[in-house]
Amino acid sequence: MNSSLTPILSVSGSDSTGQSGIQADIKTIAALGGYAVTAVSCVTVQDSCGVKQMFDLPADIVVEQAKSIISDVHPKAIKIGLVRDSDAVKRLRNEVIGCSKLVVAPGIYASDGTMIVDESAIVAIACYLIPQATLLMLRCRDAEKVLGISISTDDDMQEAAKRLHEMGAEWVLLRGGQYTQGRLKALLYGNTQYFFSSYNTEGWQRHGVGGALSAAITTRLGMGDDVPTAIRNAHDFIHSQVVYAKNDGDVNQRPVDLYNGFVSLVAEHYTFAHDVAFYADKLCITPRYLSQVTDKVVGKSPKQIIADYLMSEARTYLSTTRLTMQEIADKLGFSSQAMFCRFFKNQSGQSPSENRNSF
């Protein structure tokens, strides 16, 4: 082990495609500068079309993996993802009870809607892991199953989060509320509560994104962030690395790599750099070639991609904060409120204030 890196433990299933599970967690933890250690709970047979079969490891093996790592490496934070055996869930609680930074993200339903955790394991998660969670992460559909209720409004999300908090979770992050057309919501509930929203509904619902987000949050917690800060930092990372990233086997890999690099740079520098030439220079290519790349990969110009990113961030500020227009303009790198308002109107046909009033 590299003693200079922060050890982060992931307990979850194996995904041989690398898009989710232990493999994706290792990549995410490493990308954020952590040192990934693991305990595998189940093995899957799957390909890009989906899961064919799932095989649970015996509870003894799952628990002994975690126990050995915890006693030897002393991880700074632990994520418990997919664990389908109720006995393994119950016994894992005894191993993680002393961890002050535990993220529980069980993933009851697969991305295609298939239920992959049975009733006995759900009961065990509720009894043994939720009360120990620093942060409990569930999609709304998962929360419906745990609580036996329907979630169809923002008020329902708040009530569900409140109940999960009362079950012992210090913080609750509910994801996947889509009660406003074209906008995906999440709710963080704990000492205070925040609603988040994103207009990139397709990106945030991709297979593996939720698992990568929980691994990123766990890593940031292990590095010393409090829960709201860890979520914000992890969200920014996943937003650039996963949500907006392109992976298309039908497109030549070089343009795809350049496109992904471009979007990552936009996510890093959008607060002050809106010029295509800046990003082309960072990629060591010409603006013209960058235009050819983005047109080939996603059918958009670099300028429009930058504008789309700025609009997404602007709408988030407008819908989730009380920042003034000048403050939002400053955060997004516009030299004046007037320039920001003109940009917003050109992109959406509405002024920022009209957009804010619509929420």
> Percent of the chain having pLDDT more than 90?
53
More confident residue, 171 or 297: 171
Q: What is the pLDDT at residue 326?
A: 94
Angle in degrees, CA 257, 260, 284, rounded to 5: 65
In the chain, pLDDT over 70 holds for what percent of residues?
87
Spatial distance between the Cα atoms of 65 and 73, rounded to a whole number of angstroms: 12
77-80 and 6-14 as β-strands: parallel, antiparallel, unpaired?
parallel
Rounded CA-CA distance 348/40 in Å is 47
pLDDT value of residue 265: 85
> Quick one: pLDDT band at residue 183, thresholds 50, 70, 90?
low
Residue whose C-alpha is closest to residue 63's, from 46, 80, 50, 43: 80
pTM: 0.69
Question: For residues 66 and 96, is the Cβ–Cβ distance under 8 A?
Answer: yes
Q: Which residues pair with 68 in a beta bridge?
A: none
**Residue 195, burial from CB neighbour count under 10 angstroms (0-12, 13-18, 19+):** middle
Between 200 and 212, the more confident residue is: 212
**Confidence label for 197 from pLDDT (cuts 50, 70 and 90):** low
Q: In which element (H, E) is residue 7 found? A: strand 6-14
Q: Give me the DSSP letters along 235-297.
A: HHHHIIIIIS----TTS-HHHHHHHHHHHHHHHHHTTT---HHHHHHHTTS-HHHHHHHHHHH
- pLDDT tens, residue by residue, 243-281: 555 555 544 566 877 887 888 788 888 999 999 999 998
The answer to which of 58-62, 82-86, 108-112, 324-328 has the lowest mean pLDDT is 108-112
Q: What is residue 149's predicted lDDT score, i.e. its pLDDT? A: 93
Res. 356: pLDDT tops 80: no
| 345: number of Cβ within 10 Å | 14
Looking at per-residue pLDDT, the higher value among 211 and 61 belongs to: 61
Each as own residue / partner, the long-range contacts of residues 4-7 (CB below 8 Å, 24 or more positions apart, any chain) are 5/33, 5/34, 5/35, 6/33, 6/34, 6/35, 6/76, 6/219, 6/222, 6/223, 7/34, 7/35, 7/37, 7/73, 7/74, 7/75, 7/76, 7/222
Cα 354 to Cα 281: distance, rounded to the nearest angstrom? 36
Please state which of the ranges 230-239, 270-279, 327-336 shows the lowest mean pLDDT: 230-239
Q: Which residue has the higher pLDDT, 57 or 264?
A: 57
pLDDT in tens, 100-141: 899 999 989 887 788 889 999 999 999 999 999 999 999 999
Q: What is the largest CA-CA distance in the chain?
A: 63
* Statement: residue 315 has pLDDT above 70: yes
pLDDT at 240: 61
Contact 154, 147 (CB under 8 A): no
For 48-101, list the strands marked E by DSSP.
50-56, 77-80
pLDDT number for residue 250: 47
Task: Provide the token pair at 129.
Answer: 């892991």
Helix (H, G, I), strand (E, B) or coil at 1: coil
Amino acid code (one letter) for 241: Q
**Per-residue pLDDT at 180:** 45
* pLDDT tier at 358, thresholds 50, 70, 90: very low
Q: How far apart are CA 66 and CA 74, in angstroms?
A: 11
* pLDDT tens-digit map of 16-56: 877 788 999 998 899 888 999 999 999 988 776 777 788 99
Distances (CA, A) of 350 to 304, 319, 343, 353: 17, 14, 10, 8
Q: What is the pLDDT of residues 131-169, one digit of tens each?
A: 999 999 999 999 999 999 999 888 899 999 999 999 999
Q: Which of 117-126, 137-146, 178-187, 317-326 has the lowest mean pLDDT?
A: 178-187
Domains and CATH numbers, the chain: 6-243 (3.40.1190.20), 253-357 (1.10.10.60)
The answer to whether 183 touches 201, Cβ cutoff 8 Å, is: yes
Q: By C-alpha distance, which of 359, 321, 308, 309 is closest to 183?
A: 359
Q: Kindly report, residue by residue over 68-89, the tens digit of the pLDDT.
A: 999 999 999 999 999 999 999 9
Nearest-angstrom CA–CA distance, 176 and 206:
12
